[in-house]
Amino acid sequence: MASVIKLRKGLDINLKGKATKETASISCPGEYALVPDDFCGLKPKVVVKEGDAVKVGDALFVDKLHPEVKFVSPVSGTVSLVERGERRKLMSIRVQADGKQEARQFDVKGDVKSLLLESGLFGFFRQRPYDVVANPEDAPKAIFVSAFNSMPLSQDFEYVLAGQEADFQAGITALSKLAKVYLGISVKQTNAALTAAKDCEVNVFDGPAPAGNVGVQINHVSPVNKGEVVWTLGAEEVIFVGRLMNNGKVDFTRTIALAGSEVSAPKYYKMLVGQKLTTLIEGNAKVEGSRIINGNVMTGVKTTQDGFLAAHATEVNVIPEGDHADEMLGWIMPRFNTFSTHRSYFSWLFGKKKEYVMDARVKGGERHMIMSGEYDKVFPMDIYAGYLVKAIITGDIDRQEALGIYEVAPEDFAIAEFVDSSKLELQRIVREGLDILRKENA
């Protein structure tokens, strides 16, 4: 058994509306979309036209800087729309599914990296530094996979993994041919496909959110220094790789957790990447006065039921918007049902098992940043989070590098953003800092 890495910093937020361990399938012969913005750091170039017939695995667009990195259709059908926004920015490529799911067959006996590039699966790899689509020309020192998510309302990967163990192991084995693989698992997970996974080093983590973040695991196992590169891949995306190795075909089926207090019956659904969210939300969740989040409640993107399932999303969360919330007497009330990281309300008397309904309100305006150490209490990385954020805001690149910006991603600051009394958009600030640093070093 691998040694346990105990993390004491962090915060578990117990929200109402967790998905029960029950799975349903959704048939959707309608329109699907692949969105370039789901792949950070990409400069897309369209390689299809409206009206073109495509199979599962046929390229829709490529990266201009690295044309060998392809992004492929999750369904077979006809390209129905190449959607562009301001200054002709590519917003999405939509495919009208024909319901046949005719898939392109790939030769799995050759070079693994070439196969991943040709099949479109390489586009799911991300790299540190910068948290962008991985550069195929790099030689990473390691590939990190986190098999659990500790954020509230997150998917239970051990439940998702059941019945797909062979594909998961095949994916890990394929990754091991590219670089050393580190698999991070939770101390609560018992599936042998995780605890006894082959062709990788298993590390066990015990602690509150964000212990499941791959960035936290990298920081405690093999930190990224300047000049080094590591790749990361989502646990369910490892299954994508395994399906390709075992079947020679691309299959982007995910098991999505539909969760949140505004969902009538939170549970899991089988969906394809790019599937329209109407098929998931309609009839299953309250839409009026709610916020639909494409991804996790802490790190996802606000969307509508007319949106499409994001490429990396493992859950869709629905919570109250809070626009018409009425709080009589405001903060002076004892608030037995309001969560607080401090003992400001009497709700702390109910302990950690009490579930809370939270809305999307910020509850306050942005104000001056106070160096009170509140970030450090929930940031389990060997990094001074507050000083790093200040360095990003002031544009001090040398200071950012010294404080460890090469190791972080926006999601690592989600819990710190939640507890921030200054109401700063830390994830946005960190994303902008990474983008600027990447341009400086290009």
Residue 332 has pLDDT above 70, yes or no: no
Q: At 329, is the pLDDT very low, low, confident or very high (cuts 50, 70, 90)?
A: low
Q: Measure the N-to-C terminal CA separation of the chain; round to a whole number of Å.
A: 42
* pLDDT tens-place string over residues 377-386: 999 999 999 9
* pLDDT tens-place string over residues 100-130: 999 999 999 999 999 999 999 999 999 999 9
Q: Supply the pLDDT for residue 262.
A: 97
| Cα–Cα distance, 372 to 369 (Å, whole number) | 9
> Exposed e or buried b for every residue in 286-323, given b needs 16+ CB within 10 A?
eeeebbbbbbbbbbbeebebebbbbbbbbbbbbbbbee
Q: Supply the pLDDT for residue 442.
A: 80
Residue 306 has pLDDT above 70, yes or no: yes
Which range (199-208, 209-218, 235-244, 364-373) has the least confidence? 364-373
Of the candidates 273, 324, 323, 270, which has an alpha carbon nearest to the alpha carbon of residue 294? 273
Q: Supply the pLDDT for residue 379.
A: 97
Q: Taking residues 181-200, report their average pLDDT.
A: 98
Q: Supply the pLDDT for residue 358.
A: 94
Sketch the domain layout of the chain as residue ranges.
Answer: 1-10+28-252, 385-441
* pLDDT tens-place string over residues 287-304: 999 999 999 999 999 999
DSSP structural state of residue 124:
G
Q: Taking residues 15-24, report their average pLDDT.
A: 97
Phi, psi of 76 (to 5 degrees): -95, 145
Residue 250 has pLDDT above 90, yes or no: yes
Q: Given phi > 0 = left and psi -120 to 50 = alpha, else beta, which region is 208?
A: beta
Q: Supply the pLDDT for residue 27.
A: 73
Residue 99 has pLDDT above 80, yes or no: yes
Residue 1 has pLDDT above 60, yes or no: no
Look at residue 338 and give its three-state secondary structure: coil
Task: Please give the mean pLDDT across all residues of the chain.
Answer: 95
Q: For residues 94 and 83, is the Cβ–Cβ distance under 8 A?
A: yes
